[in-house]
Amino acid sequence: MEAGRSRSGTSQDQTRVLIKVRLHKFLAHAGVASRRASELFILAGRVRVNGHLVRELGTQITPGEDRVTVDDKDIKAPRQRLYVALNKPPGYICSRHDPQKRQSLMDLLPKEWSRLYSVGRLDWESEGLIFLTDDGQFCLGLTHPRYGVGKTYRVTVEGRVAPETLARMKQGVRNRGEELRADKARLLECSKTRSIIELELSEGKNREVRRLLEAQGLRVTRLQRTQIGRIKLGELPLGKWRRLTKSEIKSLLPEL
């Protein structure tokens, strides 16, 4: 696992994460043909891997490691994809450019990674775990509601939160014409002046956590995302990043 760093820091481990992909997907990503046409190339015996003829559609290869040819012509591997976990500080936006000239997540990453974009959003005030990538399929798989990837938040609010409030959030509330609902909601700490709640949601609607709590009359003083799918924020320091490991990527999107 690669250690995080700040803009002035240096990474401790530059080991690449090698991901196996299906051969027909590799050919499509390399611009040879569509996925379906690439399958036909394989079945027709036009594709070799490391000099060996391949006719099985389920064959997997490691881009950049295995040599792939079509009609004896080498196929170059697409650029190595990047998958990064970052502990977003408050006061940073997720967009690359901002008319207000606020700090961006891109300011926390190496300059050569300017092609990355955030997977979903955390608003300016919020903090915690966020992914950045240059893989559009990975981004879609984690943000589209149909995939239902759970995200966990630790939220501090003013005042004491009653059990019935948590129950209402799990039942769902209407807000600005949308149904907002927490898959899970539990009270971690509680006093007369503040409460800390853990929420899990999977739909990813705009500012959903804040809206869900505000609909209960609760004022949020801190919002931190602590987990996406099986990947936890852990001890990653605020403002630092690390690359996702191969096993972490596969746990998020097993079909990659």
The three-state secondary structure class of 126 is coil
CB 161, CB 195: distance < 8 Å: yes
Residue positions annotated with a catalytic role = 123
Q: Which residue has the tokens 């209402």?
A: 168
DSSP calls for 29-55: HTTSS-HHHHHHHHHTT-EEETTEE--
- What separation in angstroms does the CA of 73 have from each of 45, 105, 132? 14, 41, 34
Structure tokens, 50: 């490391």
CB 229, CB 252: distance < 8 Å: yes
